[in-house]
Amino acid sequence: MSLESSKPVVLLRDYRAPAWCVTDVELEFDLDPAATIVAARLVVERDPAQPGAALRLDAEQIELLEVRVDGEALAEDRYLLGADALTIPLAGDRAVVETRVRIVPETNTALQGLYASGSADSRFLLTQCEAEGFRRITPFLDRPDVLARYVVTLRADKARFPLLLANGNADGAGDLADGRHWARFVDPHPKPSYLFALVGGRLESIEDAFVTAEGRRVRLFIHAEADAIGRCGWAMQCLKLAMRWDEQRFGRCYDLDVFHIVATHDFTMGAMENKGLNVFNAKYLLADPEQATDDAYRHVLAVVGHEYFHNWSGNRVTCRDWFQLSLKEGLTVYREQEFESDLASRTLRRIEDVRVLWRAQFSEDAGPLAHPVRPDRYSEINNFYTATVYEKGAEIVRMLASVLGRDGFRRGLDRYFERHDGHAATVEDFLGALGDANGVDLTPWLAWYGQAGTPVLDAEAHYDARTRQFELTLAQHTAPTPGQPRKQALPIPVAVALFDADGGRMPLHLDGEAAAGAPERVLTLAADRATFRFVGVASRPVVSLLRGYSAPVRLRRSVEADDLVVQIRHDDDGFNRWFAADALARQLFADALAQGAPAARPLGLWTRSLAETVGDAALDPALVAEMLTLADANSLAETLAEVDPEAVYRARAQVETALAQALVAPLLARYRALSDDDVGDAVDTAAQARRRLRNACLAALCRADAAHLSLAEAQFERARNLTDRLGALSVLLSAQAPGASAALDAFAARHAGDMLVLDQWLSVQATQALPETVERVVALTAHEAFRWANPNNVYALLGAFALRNPRAFHRADGAGYRLVGEAVARVDALTPQVAARLATALGGWRRLEPVRRALMRRELERLAAREGLSPDLSDILARSLAG
Ligand code: BES
Ligand code: ZN
């Protein structure tokens, strides 16, 4: 690998407070896509404890025009301009440093710093700074522990850039000579540079208003291109819901007079929480029934909530350094999960989150990119916005909330926000505030942040009918991960309830306690192993364990299929009903893989209980739909020492088909019943749940028997929303129905020009579990709906193929790896961050059977041998190949 493409490693233990800080920033921009001039005036102050240190400002891909100190222009021998920094030796303890630089937004395909977006005839300019993009705009101490107050003035041609925006409150605007105009913004809240944002261009706007619980009137705006502004109404509703919810649930009010959201189709991530000026990937902002699925509606709610909640968890209290990233992201994901759970379906959201945890985080933990929630080293920070930092980070917060209780957690979070408002904090600060507010010591929880790997929780149950005692033995074990050979015991909260054989709740009376406690309780396993003894247990109990998925561990226990059936029928924790069905399905999958077919008796138990479930009109239809949907192949293969993806595919398909065939009658009945009432709009949770189940029934029916494809054809024709149309299309494609290709064409024609819907059209083709999908994806890269420079297109086609189509991706001849390898190289030349993400799909080579292992590894090596790779991609390749 070429050396110039890797960055030096940064270590957590090397953290030092900055030698200089910036207290005040004035920025002036003359915006022009071809050449933007940025003038900066920084008030800098020395840390008295670090005398003699020069001022080192991060600076990348910038043309320096001028440097002044305290008003005096510096000759070139008075500063040093390197590839990534501008260094100025300063004598005193305080100075005013001014710089003028030129940057070129229109050629910035990396989409970091200032760049251009939008249709060819109306390009607009916008920024993305997290994590280290601000240094591509102006020389600065671009690190999150440097908080400054910003005043920003924008100037631009008024006809091309009528809308000008930056963080904070508006502070004047006016016309200039030559058809230009200006606008000024003041952000009263000190912030780190990664939260800086500006937008300039011709965008349409919608406006609403919100009065905070503190009585502040806030003007709310959403800005988007003309063809999209009509689809921003739902996002505006979501914003107001989020603002109210954060007041009611966490006592957090908004703190500026305006809140702006801007939509763009050119964005590497989902959305960004810039202070008072969020920027959104259009995918997570636009929604209307014709052009957005029910899932898209819920994603808009969640992402608008997420970015809004960062205003406290991230912006008012920010991170000391990027090792603490989960401090804002894990906490904010948790807040976002709670928001959607309170407003929509808690059980559905929990199941979806656990599926993501298993698919993305457990597999990350099991591979070469495993790292702790708080990593201790990085070379490219962009590569640490991972499932571990986000999803496992949120799980840690969820565990803390469960051990502190709802009120205790609220008290703790209040303490955290109060104590660290306006400052940059650490994980220790977070645990300290939560612990102090509750009079407990939470330091044992630091281990969850510092230790990588998924703990395995072994549970063993023993009932003694004579003594009426029931013993539950819990033990934990975490396998070594790169750089961490030895693991310590973690505090693991295990929520438990007991049921009798008829599904009745049994009292929980721990030996030694005066009386039975609540019928559900959280046992905390703090050591390698512990036994909990319950007394007065009248009969052998069915144990409902890890209720609500109370800890992010892999549960391993030997449990009778009959007990799981009791849970599928009766567990009053919706999540654990699904968890029981999943556990039974995994047993059947393991049988199918080892013996060529699932064992008859458990299969019968499983299908009979799910048949009842499908017919149960009292259950949440979304939960029923989830119970019909098997875990994906990667998650099923998780415990295998060596994976043959084709064998995994076949075993999974066998179980899936067996279920479908056993359930035809109830599925058909339910499908018909749900078809009669497919009214209800896209924001209606109950209507969404019915559509979810209806589409799950349809998929299973068509899998059981091609005779049912007429139902899919009819649904495709009649659909009045994207969810049903896409659901039917997907079924027609999977079944290779005669009408499938005509349906694909009809779909593309109907949605021509709509980038987001066409992304779905790309994904639905890329995820078809057929070997020849490889060639189809290659062909689609030449389609007019696909552009290599657009991250959404790349994720929709190649990301979907690499991460959600294991059968085609792992094709035995290596063609899938080839396709992804080539794509990674191509994207790396345009958008390194996206290439690095895509490349993680090639990280799992070690666990594959020997032929594929060699093929995938060769693809990684081929990539690594290329010249001129980005630091982002080099880092992923080096870690994927290491060891
Ligand atoms: N701060 C991030 C956006 C971000 C990520 C910026 C990586 C720079 C690098 C934002 O708050 C975020 O987490 N966005 C998520 C969506 C969210 C709902 C989990 C994203 O972009 O995927
Ligand atoms: Zn976030």
pLDDT digit string, tens, across residues 308-331: 999 999 999 999 999 999 999 999
CB 843 within 8 A of CB 368: yes
Query: Which atom of ligand 1 is the closest one to the Cα of 273?
Result: 11
Which neighbouring-strand residues pair with 549?
Answer: none
- Please tell me the predicted confidence (pLDDT) of residue 677: 66
Q: Looking at the DSSP assignment, which residues form a beta bridge with residue 470?
A: 463, 534
With a CB cutoff of 8 Å and minimum separation 6, the contacts of 246 are: 252, 253, 308, 309, 312, 335, 339
Q: Which residues line the pocket of ligand 1, CB cutoff 6 A?
A: 130-131, 269-273, 302-303, 306-307, 310, 329, 333, 385
Distance CA 543, CA 474 (A): 13
For 677-695, letters b (16+ CB in 10 Å) and e give ebeeebbebebbbbbbbbb
Please write the tens of the pLDDT for every residue from 377-388: 999 999 999 999
- Return the biggest CA–CA distance within the chain: 95
Neighbouring-strand partners of residue 40: 27, 99
User: Of these residues, 60, 98, 225, 307, which one is catalytic?
Assistant: 307
Task: Tell me which residue has its CA closest to atom 8 in ligand 1.
Answer: 130
Spatial separation of the C-alpha atoms in residues 306 and 271, rounded to whole Å = 9
Q: Which residue among 112, 129, 193, 307 has the greatest number of ligand 1 atoms within 8 angstroms of its CB, and so is best to mutate? A: 307
Q: Whose CA is nearest to atom 17 of ligand 1?
A: 303
Please state the rounded mean pLDDT for residues 550-558: 97
Residue found by looking up tokens 């009903």 in the block = 577
Q: What is the pLDDT of residue 678?
A: 64
Residue 3 has pLDDT above 60, yes or no: no
* Distance between Cα 364 and ligand 2 center (Å): 19
Ligand showing the shortest atom-to-Cα distance for residue 833: 1
Closest ligand 1 atom to 269 CA: 21
- Ligand 1 centroid from CA 187, angstroms: 22
Q: What's the mean per-residue pLDDT of the chain?
A: 97
* Helix (H), strand (E) at residue 819: helix 815-828
Q: Which amino acid is at 746?
A: A
Closest residue (by CA) to atom 18 of ligand 1? 303
Going by CA atoms, what residue is nearest to atom 15 of ligand 1?
270
pLDDT tens sequence across 432-473: 999 999 999 999 999 999 999 999 999 999 999 999 999 999
Q: Are 490 and 476 in contact (CB under 8 A)?
A: yes
Q: Are 568 and 581 in contact (CB under 8 A)?
A: yes
Say how many Å lie between the CA of residue 870 and the centre of ligand 2.
24
Is residue 231 predicted with pLDDT exceeding 50? yes
CA separation, residue 414 to residues 250, 419, 444, 643, 760 (Å): 8, 8, 21, 47, 41
Give dist(CA 514, CA 495) in Å, integer.
21
What's the confidence (pLDDT) of residue 842? 98
Taking the centre of ligand 1 as the mean of its atom positions, its distance from the CA of residue 233, in whole angstroms, is 22
Q: By the 8 A CB rule, do 576 and 346 touch?
A: no
- pLDDT of 6 strictly over 80: no
Q: How far is the CA of 707 from the centre of ligand 2 (A)?
A: 46
Q: Are 659 and 607 in contact (CB under 8 A)?
A: yes
Residue 78 confidence class, pLDDT cut points 50, 70, 90: very high
Q: Which of 238, 269, 274 to mutate to test the pocket of ligand 1 (most atoms within 8 A of CB)?
A: 269
Judged on CB neighbours under 10 Å (0-12, 13-18, 19+), 112 is buried
Closest C-alpha residue for ligand 1 atom 19? 333
Q: Which ligand is nearest to the CA of 238?
A: 1
Atom from ligand 1 closest to the CA of residue 382: 9
Q: Report CA(273)–ligand 2 centroid distance (Å).
A: 7
Q: With bands split at pLDDT 50, 70 and 90, how would you rate the model's confidence at 56?
A: very high
DSSP letter at 194 equals G
Round to whole Å and give the CA distance between 103 and 118: 19
- How sure is the predictor about 681, in pLDDT bands with cuts at 50, 70 and 90? confident
Predicted local confidence at residue 679, as pLDDT: 63
Give the number of whichever ligand sits closest to the CA of residue 792.
Answer: 1
Does the pLDDT value for residue 4 go beyond 50? no
For the segment 648-676, what is each residue's pLDDT rounded down to a tens digit? 999 999 999 999 999 999 999 999 999 87
| pLDDT tens digits, one per residue of 566-607 | 999 999 999 999 999 999 999 999 999 999 999 999 999 999
> pLDDT value at position 120?
86
* Nearest protein Cα to ligand 1, atom 2: 272
800 in Cβ contact with 762 (< 8 Å) = yes
Pocket test for ligand 1, best of 385, 392, 831 (most atoms within 8 A of CB): 385
Determine the atom of ligand 1 nearest the C-alpha atom of 131: 8
Give residue 280 CA to ligand 1 midpoint distance, Å: 10
Dist. CA 460 → ligand 1 center (Å)? 40
Q: Respond yes or no: is residue 307 known to be catalytic.
A: yes
User: Rounded to the nearest 5 degrees, what angle is found at the Cα of 74, between the Cα atoms of 71 and 80?
Assistant: 135
**How many angstroms is it from 266 CA to the middle of ligand 1?**
14
Q: Look at ligand 1, atom 13, and give the residue with the nearest C-alpha.
A: 329
Return the DSSP state at 105.
G
Using the predicted structure, report yes or no on whether residue 1 has a pLDDT greater than 80.
no
In this structure, which residues have their CB less than 5 angstroms from ion ligand 2?
329, 332
Query: What's the CA gap between 391 and 376, in Å, rounded?
Result: 18
Average pLDDT (560-564) is 97
Q: What is the pLDDT of residues 129-155, one digit of tens each?
A: 999 999 999 999 999 999 999 999 999
From the CA of 128, which ligand is nearest? Answer: 1
Q: Which atom of ligand 1 is nearest to the CA of 302?
A: 18
pLDDT-derived band at 65, boundaries 50, 70, 90: very high
- Give the count of alpha carbons within 13 A of 74, CB side only: 23
Best of 272, 274, 324 to mutate for ligand 1, by most ligand atoms within 8 A of CB?
272
Ligand 1: which residue has its CA nearest to atom 4? 272
Taking the centre of ligand 1 as the mean of its atom positions, its distance from the CA of residue 306, in whole angstroms, is 9
- Nearest ligand atom owner, CA of 131: 1
Q: Which ligand is nearest to the CA of 284?
A: 1
Q: Whose CA is nearest to atom 3 of ligand 1?
A: 272
DSSP state of 70: T
Nearest bound ligand to the CA of residue 285: 1
Q: Is the pLDDT of residue 834 over 90?
A: yes
- Residue of minimum CA distance from atom 16 in ligand 1: 270
Q: Residue with structure tokens 């008012």?
A: 316
Taking the centre of ligand 1 as the mean of its atom positions, its distance from the CA of residue 61, in whole angstroms, is 24
CB-based contacts of 429, cutoff 8 Å, min separation 6: 416, 419, 420
User: Relative to the CA of 385, which ligand 1 atom is closest?
Assistant: 7
Q: Counting atoms of ligand 1 from 1, which one is nearest the CA of 299?
A: 18
pLDDT at 675: 87
312 CB burial (10 A radius; 0-12, 13-18, 19+):
buried
User: Residue 333 CA: which ligand 1 atom is closest?
Assistant: 19
Beta bridge partner(s), residue 484: 481
Is residue 680 predicted with pLDDT exceeding 80? no
Measured in Å, residue 194 CA sits from the centre of ligand 1 at: 12
With beta carbons less than 8 A apart as the criterion, state whether 106 and 123 touch: yes
Nearest protein Cα to ligand 1, atom 6: 130
The span from the CA of 252 to the CA of 213, in Å, is 9
Query: Residues 579, 549: contact at Cβ < 8 Å?
Result: yes
CA separation for the pair 573, 247 (Å, rounded): 28
Which ligand 1 atom is the nearest neighbour of the CA of 268?
21
Provide the whole-model pTM.
Answer: 0.98
